[in-house]
């Protein structure tokens, strides 16, 4: 999700690097929130844990049908927060959500130090080998989109990228910077809601789940910086496999007028613009995501 938060969040994996959590109590609170959210899901879920070079990685899956979709969420998000995405996707495809290590959630809390996207790309390649699925469609949101681009596993058949990092630096305006600073310094529900209103379309309210979650993580977690754009040569190689890109018309951090030229220049792709959507894809607009994923899954299924 909240990729604009990468720009205002700060960070460290290898050896004695810091945990994403400020305190053991904060880690417990976040894990408990995630476990309770997954337990409340009103559709069938399965969970698994993979042992990787980055530590234990938690996976949450639902649905059936091929090809398999593997979703990588944005900064600070995980399967428990993106359950609406999983519920929207799983009726059509077997869908697995990865809790990235070094992010708040149920995976290893240690964070990468340098070359963050390259590190995450290697970890995602390990995960794909661990789930033993070929012809996978990667669905990446925000930071997760950059991770999906960094991964180079031969198991990847296609990519669907939503509000993707990795193409250009974020546009962070003064209202966002001020709202984010207040949110970090005084993480109350009202301050979180005020900030997240900048992530959705004008006049819309952010979902209560995201308000609760971001209030908790501001109090419990350390911040992380936004990754830089990926190398042009790497993006050109990724264009050799099917890929679709979508972004909200009201995305303040990745405005379509800036993102579209970068995607066209590096991967020779057009960007689908979601009408009435901001950076944060709310449950009422997930049909746009399902449609976007269908553009690359349907040819594979046929």
Task: Provide DSSP, 27-61.
Answer: HHHHHHHHHHHHHT-SS--EEEEEEETTEEEEEEE
Per-residue model confidence (pLDDT) at position 302? 66
Residue 171 backbone class (left: φ over 0; alpha: ψ -120 to 50; beta: rest): beta
How much is the average pLDDT of 11-26?
A: 70
Q: Mean pLDDT across the stretch 240-253?
A: 97
Q: Structure tokens of 206?
A: 């952010």
User: 216 vs 1, which has greater pLDDT?
Assistant: 216
Other Cβ atoms closer than 10 A to 134: 12
Q: What is the pLDDT of residue 299?
A: 82
Is the link from the previous residue into 285 a cis peptide, with omega within 30 of 0?
A: no
Q: Answer positive or negative: Cα dihedral of 83, 89, 93, 99.
A: negative
Per-residue confidence band for 132, with pLDDT thresholds at 50, 70 and 90: confident
Average pLDDT over residues 42-67: 95
Nearest to 94 by CA among 164, 45, 129, 24: 45
CA-CA distance, 204 to 210, in Å (whole number)? Answer: 14
Instruction: Give the pLDDT band (50/70/90) at residue 17.
Output: low
Q: Which domains does the chain have, with CATH numbers?
A: 4-301 (3.40.50.1820)
Q: Is 19 helix (H, G, I), strand (E, B) or coil?
A: strand
**Spatial contact of 147 and 121, defined as CB atoms under 8 Å apart:** yes
Q: Which of 224, 240, 251, 94 is nearest to 162 (CA)?
A: 251
The pLDDT value given to residue 3: 37
Give SS3 for 150: helix
Kindly report the pTM of this predicted structure: 0.92
pLDDT of residue 47 exceeding 60, the answer is yes
Going by DSSP bridges, is the β-strand pair 46-52/55-62 parallel, antiparallel, or unpaired? antiparallel
Q: For residue 219, what are the CA distances in angstroms to 22, 206, 216, 280?
A: 8, 19, 5, 21
């Amino acid at each position: 999700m909240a990729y604009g938060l990468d720009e205002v969040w700060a960070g460290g994996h290898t050896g004695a690097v810091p945990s994403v959590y400020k305190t053991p109590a904060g880690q417990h609170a976040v894990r408990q929130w995630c476990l309770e959210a997954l337990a409340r899901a009103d559709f069938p879920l399965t969970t698994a844990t993979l042992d990787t070079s980055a530590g234990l990685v938690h996976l949450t899956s639902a649905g059936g049908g091929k090809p398999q979709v593997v979703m990588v969420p944005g900064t600070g998000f995980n399967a428990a927060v993106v359950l609406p995405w999983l519920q929207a996707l799983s009726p059509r495809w077997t869908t697995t959500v990865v809790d990235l290590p070094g992010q708040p959630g149920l995976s290893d809390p240690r964070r990468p130090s340098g070359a963050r996207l390259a590190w995450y790309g290697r970890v995602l390649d390990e995960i794909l080998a661990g789930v033993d699925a070929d012809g996978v469609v990667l669905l990446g949101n925000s930071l997760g989109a950059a991770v999906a681009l960094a991964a180079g596993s031969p198991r990847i058949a296609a990519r669907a990228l939503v509000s993707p990092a990795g193409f250009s630096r974020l546009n962070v305006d003064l209202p966002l910077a001020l709202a984010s600073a207040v949110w970090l310094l005084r993480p109350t529900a009202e301050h979180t809601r005020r900030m997240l209103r900048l992530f959705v379309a004008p006049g819309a309210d952010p979902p209560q789940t995201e308000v609760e979650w971001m209030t908790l993580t501001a109090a419990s977690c350390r911040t992380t910086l936004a990754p830089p754009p990926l190398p042009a040569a790497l993006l050109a190689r990724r264009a050799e496999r099917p890929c679709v890109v979508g972004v909200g018309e009201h995305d303040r951090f990745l405005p379509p007028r800036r993102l579209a030229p970068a995607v066209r220049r590096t991967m020779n792709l057009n960007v689908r613009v979601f009408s009435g959507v901001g950076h944060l894809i709310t449950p009422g607009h997930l049909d746009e995501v399902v449609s976007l994923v269908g553009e690359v899954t349907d040819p594979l299924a046929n």
